[in-house]
Amino acid sequence: MGNSSKGSYRTTPVNTMNAFDKLPPSARTALANATFCWAVQPVLTRWRLGYQGYRTGPEIAGTVARWDRDAIAKVETKRRRTP
């Protein structure tokens, strides 16, 4: 199961790679090097629709970096709370 909570995309490996290949190069690099495995199809949809934070490859890279920072902070918070 992916981390997409908004949409009903078929998440097969072929569909995921097709969506990945359609993204701008800097967005692909950011997703490939991300700490966590983020769902690609919702990113592609938002890029095609021109959502804020998804208009260019560098914007998408910044969004992915923010997701990683937030997710890492959440994991670290949970780790510190665990006895």
Amino acid 6: pLDDT: 59
Q: What is the pLDDT of residue 83?
A: 66
At 8-62, the pLDDT tens digits run 667 789 999 999 999 999 999 999 999 999 999 999 999 999 999 999 999 999 9
Residues in CB range of 3: below 8 A, 6 or more apart: 36, 37, 38, 39
Who wins on pLDDT, 81 or 24?
A: 24
Contact (CB, 8 A) for 57 and 23: yes
Q: What share of the chain is helix, strand, coil (3-state, %, to 5)?
A: 65, 0, 35
Q: What is the pTM of this model?
A: 0.80
